[in-house]
Structure 1
């Protein structure tokens, strides 16, 4: 039974692998497929049928546009990956990040018969037993889940989020393939190792698995509710745990106005300036107090309730800011405000992200220009999210890693600042942020904080000193037992070796073809043996075989795109 499962899994894997390669080649990324030797892993399949050629319609599009279209065609996993990468301009060029922000995962709804089966399995009974009313037409349909409106037996109106059937299997297959491609990228492009392609895919796997497990989202919502339980300006929906599980999330239905619906907000008499302040305060509290923030506060996820209260929806994407990241963020913003480039470099050095080969002189020059660009701006014109993006772009040029949660925060801040300025043209995020940053820096320099940091350092160094004799003893024992070894590995030679193999094979074919032509020509001169049309049959066979080998070699060279 296990063997049959593995065979089925491998067949599914190969089919999906082929469809991914076909789409990449269709959108003009055949050179990338060739550089990674991806088709080499499907050699048998390639001999059976071709995986296609580039679509002529896309040749006039930019690489970023072509890759976005390819991701949209490949479906859920790749759309989600593109959306994640759109928040990482420190890893990809800005043009690609901008293009990936256009990715949408709105798809046709799954028929309710399939949803009904999944809903029954999760709630452990018939829908009519748990709900007084249940609308079979979804109010929203995305690539991972669909949302329905219902009413409980107790009369409470709820929103029911149901995961699409079989979506987990598709995503897991895609992620496994992406991990394989990431490993090939690391082997064939050693210069890209600083961007940690395998780490990016693993982080993406963790993110999308979390997004598909609705119990985790429910726990997140409850945590937000606890964090804001004493804040009347923020409302968090209630979770109905008896009707919530891994594939179904049942929560309070929110009757409110989308924050982007300005005419309706005005018609209801809401104070737009207060709404902007409440929204900004909610995000800043999440980041600088709770260290746990909503990663996707776009206008569709932000509702306004009575009393100018903010209500956030869709908690599938969240970010975390620990104490170290908080301090780095505070130091970064403080250094920009004070025009302190040396402090910026010190922040990077303290974070351990500077590489040995980093050109500090050029980095200092770029950071000076960066600070100058922002130093003269009035506070109300300073966009905190864009500032973080621009800073990340500099780090990208010098191949310096930037924490992924800070990039997610940058995206959230850009969104919130955009919403705030739509609501109130005089909205000033920096003015609200400055006292919180000052408070963070003061807390770090307080006697209590310094003594705690000193105690942690003393404990760390004490542990290191305590282990030192044992480490020395272990080293000496290994030396005495000839178990001490140094592992060396080469990087970047795989492609060279593969190209040399191809070249030697082609030379061998060429020599064989030339030998057949020469041998057949000599046989033709003898006029001995069986004749066909007056020519020796052996010579004709030799010429035919040589023509076949020569044609095969020419086709192989043309298909590789390298004449």
Structure 2
């Protein structure tokens, strides 16, 4: 394998070395063979042996067996591009494990050393529609792999905060609290010298060597994505967006290693935890923050999906998360709204307040985005068009969201017909349809702003968390309930809009829905019920009856 002797002999030799040498010594011994046989030959043989030991395709359930080749080849390409030094460390880790170690355990250990692989596993785990067994294993990646040396993390903090350590009596914990793709979190206690008040917080620090690892892996991601894109006919994922997906992984990891960027996001997100807001965010401890260390208050709890709560409390937490992550960014009166870009369960903790109630705390603000009021207006127009099945309104909203005049109405209509004919479309509800629609249009080649696509990803990620918290939670029902309150709040302005039609524009309302929109929506729903021969009214229809001023009138866009 790594010498001139036969493969079995080389394996036996490594096994013997693995019993007597520590990880670093064993890796150095393996790496020395790269000079003897040449880096190219060593890389090929080491990559082959890692594939043999970890068997990445085996972890893919039979239901997805057609995707095993892309998993195997992708990891093989990744191994084949790593330096001999990193390959030697990966080999040392595998050799020192028990011979009968489960494949899943071997792959988890592997992911710990490959941030891009770790992040990809986390992203896949957030799809609640995948095989439960596979998802359960992948979800373990969100909980962290506690193997980073706490001593190295403490040393980084001491080096960065040298002038504060003694005056504030900073005492760093012995053990790491959590660990993710690129960072580790460790607790600390300190005392304010001015007030004498003791407090507890956490330091978030990048794992040692992670920047160097990512620099190497980012270059490999481009090559791997290009390979799959050129040879997509070989694989089952013929329409998968290899280049875009790998770019998303790269951007997400680049954001995660930018601690000063996350600190700015945390400062901006502080408004979410003001009095009356449904969730909390960690308090940034600015004086202890540097380019390489983020200090913040401790969220003393557990993953929101693992906290013991009554059904009523789970519903309340689901509602609070929906309000904070989806409703407020969409229907705020602010010119630009800020949102959390990665609300998976590992980034949402449940913390008990003084009243004994569980409050959601949004952690990890490395990924965050902004939506302009104009983008939110067109997003609302898209949802309205989908609800009305109004092709022209959908086309106008999509072209406005894309901000690309080269996107033709015919292109959108053709893609829309194909998307709406799919079973996946019919199975979804209104809000999910809107974001699925954007997702599939992006797949067809229509480009949208980065933050809009991030919000789409945030929606689907949160959808899975809410389903775990409360399987009966309905985003659509929640939206209609919230809109009822908004419409009532807007009644004075709506009556003015009814009396002065030129003032009846959607952007003049917080709900971004005009009187004319409401009247036409009610008209279409009434026709639909008449065709079905029923007098029953849904919650949304009764809402429209109560709130829409004026009579019935056709929508001008639809009749144009």
Instruction: State if a TM-score over 0.5 links the two structures.
Output: yes
From 128, 133, 136, the counterpart of 2:174: 136
Matched, 1:156 2:194: no
Counterpart position of 1:433: 479
From 237, 242, 245, the counterpart of 2:287: 242
Counterpart position of 1:174: 217
Tell me, yes or no, if the aligned pair for 1:145 and 1:163 is still in contact at 8 Å: yes
Tell me, yes or no, if the aligned pair for 2:385 and 2:391 is still in contact at 8 Å: yes
Counterpart position of 2:384: 334
> Taking structure 1 as reference, are residues 112 and 288 closer, same or farther at Cα in structure 2, changes over 3 Å only?
same
Tell me, yes or no, if the aligned pair for 2:153 and 2:207 is still in contact at 8 Å: yes
Measured against aligned partners, the alpha-carbon deviations of 1:76-107 in whole angstroms (never above 9, x if no partner) come to 44236626875999xxxx99xx9897682633
> Taking structure 1 as reference, are residues 446 and 428 closer, same or farther at Cα in structure 2, changes over 3 Å only?
farther
- Structure number with higher relative contact order (C-alpha < 8 Å, ≥ 6 residues apart): 1
**Please, which moves more after superposition, 177-186 or 211-220?**
177-186
Give me the whole-angstrom Cα distance separating, in 1, the residues matched to 2:481 and 2:320: 16
- Offset of 1:285 from its aligned partner? 0.9
Measured against aligned partners, the alpha-carbon deviations of 1:405-431 in whole angstroms (never above 9, x if no partner) come to 344333433443444455445533113
From 440, 444, 463, the counterpart of 1:398: 444
Counterpart position of 1:15: none
Measured against aligned partners, the alpha-carbon deviations of 1:523-551 in whole angstroms (never above 9, x if no partner) come to xxxxxxxxxxxxxxxxxxxxxxxxxxxxx
Q: Give unpaired runs (5+ residues) of structure 2.
A: 1-37, 79-106, 193-197, 509-560
Q: Give unpaired runs (5+ residues) of structure 1.
A: 1-43, 453-563
Tell me, yes or no, if the aligned pair for 2:386 and 2:434 is still in contact at 8 Å: no
- Offset of 1:156 from its aligned partner? 0.6
Highest CA radius of gyration, 1 or 2?
1
Measured against aligned partners, the alpha-carbon deviations of 1:472-492 in whole angstroms (never above 9, x if no partner) come to xxxxxxxxxxxxxxxxxxxxx
TM-score (structure 1 length as normaliser): 0.56
TM-score (structure 2 length as normaliser): 0.57
> Taking structure 1 as reference, are residues 173 and 426 closer, same or farther at Cα in structure 2, changes over 3 Å only?
closer
> Taking structure 1 as reference, are residues 104 and 366 closer, same or farther at Cα in structure 2, changes over 3 Å only?
same
Tell me, yes or no, if the aligned pair for 1:145 and 1:164 is still in contact at 8 Å: yes
Give me the whole-angstrom Cα distance separating, in 2, the residues matched to 1:331 and 1:212: 36
Which structure 2 residues correspond to residues 35-54 of structure 1 after superposition, within 5 A? 46=40, 50=44
From 296, 300, 323, the counterpart of 1:251: 296
Give me the whole-angstrom Cα distance separating, in 1, the residues matched to 2:481 and 2:312: 27
Give me the whole-angstrom Cα distance separating, in 2, the residues matched to 1:337 and 1:347: 13
Which structure 2 residues correspond to residues 195-274 of structure 1 after superposition, within 5 A? 204-256=249-301, 258-261=303-306, 264-266=308-310, 271-274=313-316
Counterpart position of 2:320: 278
Measured against aligned partners, the alpha-carbon deviations of 1:265-291 in whole angstroms (never above 9, x if no partner) come to 33xx97443333222211121344252
Measured against aligned partners, the alpha-carbon deviations of 1:27-83 in whole angstroms (never above 9, x if no partner) come to xxxxxxxxxxxxxxxxx9547874565957567764645655727647444236626
Tell me, yes or no, if the aligned pair for 2:350 and 2:360 is still in contact at 8 Å: yes
Give me the whole-angstrom Cα distance separating, in 1, the residues matched to 2:43 and 2:179: 36
Counterpart position of 1:104: 141
Q: Secondary structure at the match of 2:417?
A: helix
- Offset of 1:245 from its aligned partner? 1.3
Q: Secondary structure at the match of 1:260?
A: helix
Which structure 2 residues correspond to residues 404-419 of structure 1 after superposition, within 5 A? 404-419=450-465
